[in-house]
């Protein structure tokens, strides 16, 4: 089973700053199989990025994803007040199907 480890656990930044969130896999993951989600308090998660770097419909271009192999990154270029939330990475493994989430990174206002 592939384990995803996200860092840091909590990231304290100010609006306008750049945020860099990391997701490291215990084994190599196909880039096609890596996604990122945002969850705000009391809400369901929202898909941000799929295929490691493709933005989901309606996601602002300040959000970008990159990486390959075991190291993936979600970058928010200029933080807006509504971006402060918890972020999860997720990978898919086939045969049998398995979906693993990272433990999350909380992005909080400094």
Partner 1 sequence: EVQLVQSGAEVKKPGESLKISCKGSGYSFTSYWIGWVRQMPGKGLEWMGIIYPGDSDTRYSPSFQGQVTISADKSISTAYLQWSSLKASDTAMYYCVRGEYYYGSGSYPEYFQHWGQGTLVTVSS
Which H or E run contains 26? strand 19-29
> Per rule CB under 8 A, is residue 41 in the interface with partner 1?
no
> Per rule CB under 8 A, is residue 96 in the interface with partner 1?
yes
* Angstrom distance (rounded) from CA 39 to CA 83: 10
Nearer to partner 1, 55 or 79 (CB): 55
* Angstrom distance (rounded) from CA 94 to CA 66: 22
| Closest approach of partner 1 to the CB of residue 34, in Å | 8
Binding site for partner 1 (CB under 8 A): 32-33, 35, 37, 44-47, 50-51, 54, 56-57, 88, 90, 92, 94-104
């Amino acid at each position: 089973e592939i384990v995803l480890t996200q860092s840091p656990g909590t990231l304290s930044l100010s609006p306008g700053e750049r945020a860099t969130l990391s997701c490291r896999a215990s084994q190599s993951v196909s880039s096609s199989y890596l996604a990122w989600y945002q969850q705000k308090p009391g809400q369901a998660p929202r898909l941000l990025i799929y295929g490691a770097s493709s933005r989901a419909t309606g996601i602002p271009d300040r959000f970008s994803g990159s990486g390959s192999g075991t190291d993936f990154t979600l970058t928010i270029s200029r933080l807006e007040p509504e971006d402060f939330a918890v972020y999860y990475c997720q990978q898919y493994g086939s045969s049998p199907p398995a979906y693993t989430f990272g433990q999350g990174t909380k992005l909080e206002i400094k």
